[in-house]
Amino acid sequence: MATLNLLSGESGASGASGAASSILHKKNIHGVLNAIGWGILLPLGVIIARNIGITIFSLATLQMFALLLRPNKDNKYRLYWNIYHHSIGYSVIILSIINIFKGLDILQPANKWEQSYIGIIVSLGIVAVLLEIYTWIVVLKRKKAAGTGKAPAGTNGYNGTNMYNNYGARTQNVV
């Protein structure tokens, strides 16, 4: 039986075979780790780095064409379409951010550009979280109102809030 300490890099062999088998064992471990690193991980990294832009473009294009196949809200497949749509959308966003950081690493611009990009991403993330919270508040109010049979506060049965349509203009009374 042999042991390999990945923190210290030391390996040891138990048994009576001695120093000769220990050296052979270290060579075998060295060979296996090199095969994994150079034969699997490095090519995988090259494939991902080279094709990440193609992947982003393909997924974004797929998102656009998916709009043509979107089922109605009451369709039984709409839930699955929403899961697909959100998954692909978030994947495109994450891969795009990764791609931009890879580009910044390659170009090595002044540090202020990377810091500015991080600031923009953090700001957009905060806005997205706040909008998500607002959306859930509205959804929960609507569900609560639907359960009581009352209209949500402020709608008064009109198209929008307080007799205004969704664009802020007053509804017109036709004679």
Q: What does the alpha-carbon distance between residue 41 and residue 104 come to, in Å, rounded to a whole number? A: 22
SS3 15: coil
pLDDT higher than threshold 60 for residue 122: yes
> How confident is residue 162, by pLDDT bands cut at 50, 70 and 90?
very low
More confident residue, 96 or 30: 96
Q: What is the pLDDT of residue 38?
A: 82
* Rounded mean pLDDT, 103-124: 93
Return the closest-CA partner of residue 142 out of 129, 130, 151, 133: 151
pLDDT higher than threshold 70 for residue 175: no
* Rounded mean pLDDT, 78-104: 90
- Token pair, residue 70, equals 């979107």
* Rounded percentage of the chain residues whose pLDDT exceeds 90: 31
Q: What is the pLDDT of residue 135?
A: 94
* Rounded mean pLDDT, 18-45: 80
Q: What's the whole-model pTM score? A: 0.53
Q: What does the alpha-carbon distance between residue 138 and residue 5 come to, in Å, rounded to a whole number? A: 54
pLDDT higher than threshold 80 for residue 13: no
Neighbours of 99 (CB within 10 A): 15
pLDDT higher than threshold 90 for residue 39: no
pLDDT higher than threshold 90 for residue 17: no
